[in-house]
Amino acid sequence: AMEEVCAKFVSQKISKTRWRPLPAAALHPPEVFATGSWDNEDNRISIWSVGDLGNAGVNGEYQGEPQLLCDIRHNGDVMDMQFLDQERIVVASSTGTVTVFRHHQNNQTLSANHRWEKAHYHVDQDTSCGGAACTGVICNNPEIVTVGEDGRINLFRADQKDAVRTIDNADSSTLHAVTFLRTTEILTVNSIGQLKIWDLRQQRNEPSQIFSLTGDRVPLHCVDRHPNQQHIVATGGQDGMLSIWDIRQGTIPVSLLNAHEAEMWEVHFHPSNPDHLFTCSEDGSLWHWDTSTDVSEKPSFLHQGGRSTTYFSHNTINHSVVSAWLSNDPTKDRMEITNLIPSQTLSVNSLDILGPCLVYGTDAEAIYVNRQLFA
């Protein structure tokens, strides 16, 4: 039912969309999200509300489009963006700078709270043209980790002026994305199909483990860790394939799943319901991967988008999420995949998912919100 999705045309190509995290005890769905833009004359960080704002329809369902609360200019393309807490957002720029913006909720304004100029750079920090794109950022308040085109890893603390730690030649190729495995360990993916684990307690500047796609060393663009099973990691790359890794064993993916027809830009496990996973791509599609058991018996609760729903076999011996993602044994149970975008659009660059709510942004200068994903 398409009525669940509302679109907002924003006259900017949207590179990132992120829900503001909910306070620990919150029972209501998320209402505020941030977007960042790229490839525009004037790039912006914007804060939006999908709160009901008196627009409820006859049955109380939400009718209105997202409302802009505030925005601020951003120097360079927004390459990545993460909320540090309820008020602060960390933004990675193509100029190599990393900025912490603060959203002042009392008067709905945004301000630059702190900036690490040229956190990533090619030659040296002082040359005017030396900036290298900061491609990824991940936060575990107060810690912020950034990676970049320069193969560098920075560890910042929100309240400190200088980097806590920098690993200068962490990688000889571009680092595209980073995630925390646990508070002291991070995982990076690079442009030659490698996944590396770094233990931040170690003073040496080498990864503690290296995993690799076999064969063509396809660039990996995105990574996410299973929220409950920290050894399960999903990555997506230039060929649109979804790879599932078990970092406890082997150095290659446990399974490779045919997915998109072009680059996969983001992959996200649902934070509280991780048998659901979401991916988006340059090919204009956004896929929902559902490994919850007994898929065959329940109606698809998402409209059948551009492709017919496909089924992948998987093994759920003990009906746990773990076996679903880690198995490559075809048995009677299946994985259901639904494209949530019924008509192909330009590249879907970013998605974020929290509770029943999905937000995504496209090169077609639009943001889309679905607040009834599991209706």
Q: How many CA atoms lie within 13 A of 296 on its CB side?
A: 8
**pLDDT-derived band of residue 5, with 50, 70 and 90 as boundaries?**
confident
Q: Please state, in angstroms and rounded to a whole number, the distance separating the CA atoms of residues 285 and 280.
A: 6
Q: Pick the range with the lowest mean pLDDT from 128-137, 147-156, 214-223.
A: 128-137
Q: How far is CA 108 from CA 68, 71, 262, 277, in A?
A: 10, 9, 38, 33
Q: How far is CA 28 from CA 65, 304, 323, 369, in A?
A: 19, 27, 31, 16
Which of 254, 264, 186 is CA-nearest to residue 221? 264
Instruction: Return the percent helix, strand and coil in the chain, to nearest 5.
Output: 5, 45, 50
- Distance separating alpha carbons of residues 99 and 88, to the nearest angstrom: 10
Buried b (16+ CB within 10 A) or exposed e, 105-126: eeeeebeebbebebbbbbeeee
Q: How far is the C-alpha of 92 from the C-alpha of 110, rounded, in Å?
A: 16
Grade residue 374 by pLDDT with cuts at 50, 70 and 90. Answer: confident
Q: 124 to each of 45, 91, 129, 353, 357, how far by Cα in Å?
A: 28, 22, 9, 38, 43
* pLDDT tens digits, 352-364: 999 999 999 999 9
Q: What are the residues whose beta carbons fall under 8 Å from the beta carbon of 298, sequence distance 6 or more?
A: none
Q: Please, are residues 352 and 268 in contact by the beta-carbon 8 Å criterion?
A: yes
Average per-residue pLDDT for the chain: 86
Domains of the chain: 8-53+61-293+332-370 (2.130.10.10)
At 312, which amino acid appears? F
pLDDT in tens, 269-306: 999 999 999 999 999 999 999 988 654 444 333 333 33
How many angstroms from the chain centroid is the CA of residue 83? 12
Q: Could you give the 3-state DSSP secondary structure of residue 296?
A: helix
Greater model confidence, 252 or 127: 252
Provide the pLDDT for residue 366.
94
pTM of model > 0.85: yes
Name which of 287, 373, 251, 357 is nearest 31 in CA terms: 357
